């Protein structure tokens, strides 16, 4: 696939006032979330839940793409393969291709991401099944002496190899180096670490000849750790995040999508709004939220078909609020407004 075709996918994912729905939880992760609600995690229950997400009315108004898990990519909605069913609704299908993390040798705190073995063949299959983009996540913990240079360098190299292989297969790579919120670090420390990680990642991407114009960066906002006594305001978070990105992300990258990373639904939206309200950046800014879009919907659904309409309404609402945030137009009023204000607020 040519760079032009890849850039066409990038443009679709970065459509105005739209972001990504990350529904790529592994079997272990979604099993834990279901268990907390007393829902048995089976192939059928997982399909039912994700079908609810993807068939939510008007979802494509604020969701341009959906990141799927391997199992979901192979499932169907009413006899239609999942990627085709999503495409019919105006949503681009993508696929998580990493295979989770393992402890780094000699470490009890740091991890490296698995999945490079056999990746070229898997990517070819995913493209054949209808995926148009991919995602690979690397995890970095903050703390005394963390992350180590070995962790940063090894994960940056894997992210670059993954991205190069994805583009070779005609798939747009979403490169996700996530610095976790765990810990008591302050805003400044987080800014330094995210900058250090991003600098290493882009150095490897360039070394491996990844076409920057045909990829997306998925990163966390610059946040104080959950244990930090000095919690920053949304405005402070926005300033630190944008300063960090300006110093570390090449202008050739077309878009940056923010992960929610354990933030509450409303906090993630408020902070996204503050960041996007700045506007003076060379990239398109968007979101790639999992729990910050799904939490309330999953709680309401509770595994019961009778709760489908209410759960869909909750997902619609969160997608709408984040659409407002991408325009810098989110406020507390947006939490209670319906589609009636949408045309005015997002014009």
Catalytic residues, by residue number, are 176, 218
> Cα separation of 165 and 170, whole Å?
9
3-class DSSP state of 289: strand
> Cα separation of 10 and 13, whole Å?
5
Residue 128: Cβ within 10 Å count? 9
Q: What share of the chain is helix, strand, coil (3-state, %, to 5)?
A: 50, 15, 35
Q: Are 93 and 64 in contact (CB under 8 A)?
A: no
Q: Could you give the count of Cα atoms lying within 13 Å of 189 in the half-sphere of its Cβ? A: 19
In this structure, what are the phi and psi dihedrals at residue 114, rounded to the nearest 5 degrees? -95, 165
> Cα separation of 297 and 309, whole Å?
10
> Cα separation of 12 and 65, whole Å?
8
Beta strand segments in 97-252, E: 101-103, 111-113, 133-140, 172-179, 216-219
> ∠ CA 301-31-174 to the nearest 5 degrees?
90
């Amino acid at each position: 696939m040519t760079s032009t075709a890849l850039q066409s996918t990038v443009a679709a994912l970065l459509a105005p006032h739209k972001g990504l729905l990350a529904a790529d939880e592994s079997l272990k992760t979604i099993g834990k979330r279901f268990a907390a609600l007393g829902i048995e995690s089976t192939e059928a229950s997982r399909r039912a839940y994700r079908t609810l997400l993807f068939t939510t009315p008007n979802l494509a108004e604020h969701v341009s793409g959906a990141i799927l898990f391997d199992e979901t990519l192979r499932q169907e909605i009413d006899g239609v393969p999942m990627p085709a069913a999503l495409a019919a609704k105006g949503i681009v299908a993508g696929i998580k291709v990493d295979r989770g993390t393992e402890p780094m040798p000699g470490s009890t705190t740091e991890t490296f991401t698995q999945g490079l073995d056999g990746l070229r063949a898997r990517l070819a299959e995913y493209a054949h099944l209808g995926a148009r983009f991919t995602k690979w996540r690397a995890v970095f913990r903050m703390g005394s002496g963390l992350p180590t240079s070995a962790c940063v360098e090894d994960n940056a190299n894997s992210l670059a190899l993954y991205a190069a292989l994805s583009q070779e297969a005609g798939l747009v790579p979403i490169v996700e180096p996530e610095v976790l919120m765990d810990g008591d670090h302050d805003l400044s420390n987080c800014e330094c670490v995210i900058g250090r990680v991003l600098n290493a990642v882009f150095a490897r991407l360039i070394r491996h000849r990844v076409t920057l114009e045909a990829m997306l960066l998925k990163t966390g906002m610059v946040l104080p750790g959950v244990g930090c006594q000095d919690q920053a305001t949304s405005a402070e978070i926005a300033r630190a995040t944008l300063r960090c990105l300006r110093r570390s992300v090449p202008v050739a990258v077309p878009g940056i999508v923010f992960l929610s990373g354990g933030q509450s639904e409303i906090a993630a939206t408020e902070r996204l709004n503050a960041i996007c309200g700045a506007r003076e950046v060379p990239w398109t800014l968007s979101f790639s939220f999992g729990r910050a879009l799904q939490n309330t919907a999953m709680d309401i659904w509770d595994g019961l078909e009778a709760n489908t309409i209410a759960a869909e309404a909750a997902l619609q609402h969160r997608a709408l609020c984040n659409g407002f945030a991408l325009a810098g137009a989110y406020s507390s009023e947006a939490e209670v407004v319906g589609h009636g204000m949408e045309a005015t607020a997002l014009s």
